[in-house]
A = this chain, B = another copy of it.
Amino acid sequence: MTAYLKRSAVLGALARRTITSSHKPAAVAATAFQPATDSGPIFPPFFPSEPKRPELISLQIPGPKAKAAIQDLDQYFDTRSLNMMADYHKSIGNYIVDPDGNRLLDVYAQIASIPVGYNNPDLLALANTPEMISSLVNRPALGNFPQSDWASILKGGVLKVAPKGLDKVFTAMAGSDANEIAMKAAFMWKRQQERGGPGVDFSPEEIKSVMNNAAPGSPQYSIMSFRGGFHGRTFGVLSTTRSKPIHKLDIPAFDWPQAPFPSLKYPLDQHAKENAEEEARCLAEAEDIIKNFHHPVAAIIIEPVQSEGGDNHASPSFFRGIRELTTRNNILLIVDEVQTGVGATGKFWAHEHWNLPTPPDMVTFSKKAQTAGYYYGKSELRPNKPYRQFNTWMGDPTKAILFRGIVDIIERLDLVQNTARVGDYLFAGLENLAQRYPNQIQNLRGKGQGTFIAFDSPRRDEVLRKAKGEGVNLGGSGERAVRLRPMLVFQEHHG
């Protein structure tokens, strides 16, 4: 235990150089959070073969080999968003290795999309099975010609972890299309209700106008999202994305409304009253939009934690309020769990923290699931005719098989519980650091939310750069948030 603590990479790196701008010995910095761990049990590492610590080989990242590779790639493929080139053959567990042999503790995990470690031995074995190989080389059009074991693949993974009350699924390929098809389902549901039910056919006027992209066939209806929200980048979801201008500039958008998302003050226990008022204000404004916006709202789409927008949280009571107002106004609630889902918040789905009176109407997923889609429960959310919710591939069996393997590992190693516990440990350590460096670690948030932890820093980009110089790959979000987005196999000794 002590050996691990000496090299507490994340907290150590933040304490050592990133925050304090000095280079104290790790053991000194580590005292900042020792109390949180010394009382606990010892947790054996999930990856016995994982290295004990980061290792930096080149003077800087990228080193000479990565630089040459980036220069080559850039001729054909835009590298201007590149953070770090990687050699995944050499990466292992929580450690990412680059072409120069630099080995970093990865607390960003491919934008929160790697669940159980690089080169996880169970997934390597799964990748080598006849089932996986057949699905890879014989990719089916799942809507027309599904493979005969498709139900069994779904039941072993995607459906096994379905949110309570949502036992059906439309599969997709990534978060963007998962959210787009959920939004399409909402529009179909709304219009079907107005039309008088699934048995009532489209009118000749609808059939004619829709081919001109005009009402009533293409209704001027809307999806309401929240300021700071991020739901993807294809044209439909981009119209609901409200995190940063750079995502949206120059792209035509639907005239859809946005409600304010609560701007909470931290620490929460010192601002209970004003935070409750802020949430009440946002709920009231959301309801006002639903009642009055010039394009009728068919659904709300919302993230449990606004991730790309800066790791903005709201209380379970706020989300219960959202559920109530969707029910009261006869619109649908789509919970976008693309980043929050699959265990990172210490529950399998983040909305389990809310204790909702009724389940969300749809829950979308992707990233750590490798596959994607939306869960639903009500049969009215399955369109009333074939080919309304359809495309060539409708998902990808190889990714659904991977998710089944990931679910197996999560259950066997109790990784949701692990993440809850490690999150508490990390939060306590950061709380301690925040008390020492209140100007550098501000608005620490994510208590009780597993490892879904973030804080603001006025020198955010410098923090990220310096952390990398310490061998820790950290991510940012919004304008000034540092977000922890480790894998589910991240443990105390990595902290």
Contact = CB atoms under 8 A, between A and B. Distances in A.
Interface stretch (A16-24, A230-238, A454-462): A230-238
A52 interface: no
- Interface class of chain A by DSSP: loop
A402 B214 CA distance: 41
Interface in A192-248: 192, 202, 206-207, 210-214, 217-222, 227, 232-237, 239, 242, 245-248
Nearest to A308: B392
A164 interface: no
A78 interface: yes
B174 A173 contact: yes
A80 interface: yes
Interface residues of A, number: 128
Interface string A93-110: 000101100000000001
A382 interface: yes
Contacts of A124: 133, 137
Interface in A120-173: 120, 123-124, 126-128, 130, 132-141, 143-148, 150-151, 154-155, 159, 167-171, 173
A189 B179 CA distance: 27
B252 A187 contact: yes
A247 B139 contact: no
Contact of A155 (B76, B118, B221, B382): B76
Contact of A76 (B132, B159, B187): B159
A392 B173 CA distance: 12
A78 B169 CA distance: 8
B248 A151 contact: no
Contacts of A255: 213-214
Contacts of A76: 151, 154-155, 159, 167-169
A188 interface: yes
A145 B213 contact: no
A120 B133 CA distance: 11
Nearest to A475: B144
A126 B132 CA distance: 12
Given A111-B141, A111-B392, A211 B86 contact: no
A214 B113 CA distance: 32
Contacts of A119: 134, 137-138
A247 to B, nearest CB: 7
Contacts of A355: none
Most chain B beta carbons < 10 A, residue from A110, A138, A173:
A138
Interface of A: 65-66, 69, 72-73, 75-89, 91, 96, 98-99, 110-111, 113-114, 118-120, 123-124, 126-128, 130, 132-141, 143-148, 150-151, 154-155, 159, 167-171, 173-177, 180, 183-184, 187-188, 190-192, 202, 206-207, 210-214, 217-222, 227, 232-237, 239, 242, 245-256, 258, 366-367, 370, 382-383, 385-393, 398, 402
Question: Which 6 pairs from chain A and chain B are nearest by CB?
Answer: A235-B236, A213-B253, A80-B386, A88-B138, A218-B253, A81-B386
Given A69-B148, A110-B144, 20 more contacts: A76-B168, A77-B169, A77-B170, A78-B386, A84-B144, A86-B146, A88-B138, A124-B133, A127-B136, A136-B402, A173-B173, A174-B391, A174-B393, A183-B235, A191-B250, A192-B250, A213-B239, A218-B252, A219-B250, A235-B254
23 contacts: A73-B146, A77-B171, A81-B387, A84-B145, A85-B148, A86-B145, A113-B139, A113-B392, A119-B134, A128-B128, A128-B133, A136-B402, A137-B402, A177-B234, A180-B234, A183-B235, A206-B245, A211-B248, A214-B255, A219-B250, A221-B252, A233-B390, A235-B239
